[in-house]
Structure 1
C-alpha cells in the first residue's frame, strides 16, 4: 500500500540512490541491447529522441554512465551520475525514476525513490530555472508518485498543478521535447478520467482534445517510442471507453512490434505484449 505520510517538496528526502541496503532488482531480459561508451555515442540520437539531451563528450565518465543506463544497469548508472555533481543529475534521476517505475517490487521503496528524484530535480530547478531536463524528471517523478498515492489524492495536495506547470515549461523551453508532450497529454487524460470533463476543464485546465493534440505531436516527434504509443492507447480508453478499443489495441500492437533500442524500451515492449494478452 502507498505511504500516507506525504511531505512538502522542501522536506522530501534527498538521500542517496537507494533507501535500502538491498541491491536493486536486475533487468529480467537477456536480449537487451548492450552499449559501451563508444557505441553509445553512435546511437545517441535514437536513444535520446524523446528529449534531445546533448551527448556527453567522448571520454567523459558520464558516457560510461549512460551506456550502463541504456544497457539496463540502472543502479550502477544512478550511482555514477550522483558522483558527477550537477552534470550527472539527469542520469541519476532518469535511472532512478525508470528503475522505480518498472522494476522495484516494493511500493514503499518505489515511492521513496520518486521522492528522491522530485527533491533532487527541484533543487536543480531552483538553481537553474530553465533546465528543461531537470523540470521533466521532476514532473515524471511527480506523476508516478501521484499514481502511487492515488491521482485524486495527489490533485487535492496540489501535485497536479506542479506537474502540469513543469511540463508546460519544458515544452516552452524545448518545443521538440517529445516525452514532455506525451507526459502532458497523459496528465490531461488521467485528470479527466478521475474528475470528469467539466471539473477537469474548469479546475485543472485539461481538455480531451488537447490530450489528443499533444499525443499526436509527441508521436510526430518520436514515432518509435513504445511507451508513448501505449500511453496514447490507455488515454483513448480513459477518454472514450470501449468505443476506442480498436484504436487502442492498434497502438499497443504497434508498440509490441517495435525493435527496442535499449533496456527501457525493452520493458515497454514487454508491457505492450502483456497488455495485448490480457
Structure 2
C-alpha cells in the first residue's frame, strides 16, 4: 500500500507520544476497545506508537514491514486514516478494499484471532458505506459483515468496538429496509442495536462508542430521538482523548454539533 501521499494529521498530538515504557503502561487503556494483546515485536511496538501519535502512514508502513503479524495495526491505522483524513473518495475506497483483502488473509492464517474478523467487518462496513448500504446489501456484504462480527464477539465477548459495529449493523439494516424485512431477512433488531451500543459504552466509555450510539439512535428513530442523539455526540465532544484516534473522534463529534 502506497502511503507516500497520505495527509498528515492536523492536530497537536504531542501528548500522545507514549515513548519507551509508557506505551506498555498505557496499553490496556489504549486498547480497551479492540482488546489487542501487547506485541512482543519491537517493530510492531514502534508501529503502534506511530498509530497512537497520529502517524498513520508510518504505522501502516511499519505493519507491512513486519508482515503477517502486523495485519491488525495495518488495518486499524489505514481505516482511521481513511475515515478522517483522506479526502479522495477513490483512494478511501481503495484503502478499505485493501483492508478487506488483508483481513481475509489474516482470517485464513489466524482463524482464532478476534481482530482478524473484526477488521474484516470494519473495512467491509466502511466500503459498504462508500458504495451505499443498499448496493452493499444487494451484493451480499451484509451477511459477510454479520458473520465476521459474530465470530469476533464469539472469540472476544468484551470487544467493545465489535459491539459498536454490531449495533451499527443492526441500525443501518433497519434504516435501509425497515424493521420487518430487516428482522426476517437479516436478523436485525432495534433492541439488539441498542443493547450492543450500551454494552460498548459500558466496556469503554470511549468517544467513538458515544458517536456511533448517537448515529444509531438517529438511524433507528429519526427526529424522535434527535435530542438523545445530540446528547450522545455532546458526551463524545466533551471527552479528553488519550490518543490521536480519539482526538479525531472528539473533533468530529464537536464539529457535528456546530
Pair in the same fold by TM > 0.5: yes
Paired residue for 1:263, among 244, 247, 256?
Answer: 244
More helix by share: 2
- Give the paired residue count: 257
Counterpart check, 1:251 vs 2:228: no
The answer to whether structure 1 residue 25 and structure 2 residue 7 are counterparts is yes
Q: Distance in 2 between matches of 1:229 and 1:187?
A: 15
> Does the CA contact (< 8 Å) of 1:192 and 1:239 recur in 2?
yes
For 1:61, which of 29, 34, 43 is the aligned residue?
A: 43
In structure 2, what is the equivalent of residue 165 of structure 1? Answer: 147
Residue 92 of structure 2 is matched in structure 1 by 110
Whether 2:63 is the aligned partner of 1:81: answer yes
How far the C-alpha of 1:46 sits from its partner, in A, is: 1.0
Inter-partner Cα distance in structure 1 for 2:116 and 2:19? 25
> Compared with structure 1, are the counterparts of its residues 55 and 17 closer, same or farther at alpha carbon in structure 2 (3 Å cutoff)?
farther
Superposition RMSD on alpha carbons, in Å? 1.2
Residue 150 of structure 1 pairs with residue 132 of structure 2: yes
Looking at structure 2, the residues matched to 52 and 45 of structure 1 have their Cα atoms a distance apart, in angstroms, of 8
Match of 1:188 in 2: 170
Checking the alignment, whether the CA contact within 8 Å between 1:66 and 1:77 is kept in structure 2 is: yes
Which moved further from structure 2: 261-270 or 124-133?
A: 124-133
Q: Are the counterparts in 2 of residues 17 and 78 from structure 1 also a CA contact under 8 Å?
A: no
Q: Does structure 2 conserve the Cα–Cα contact (< 8 Å) formed by 1:37 and 1:63?
A: no
Counterpart Cα distance in 2 of 1:152 and 1:231: 20
Select the residue among 91, 113, 118 that pairs with 2:73: 91
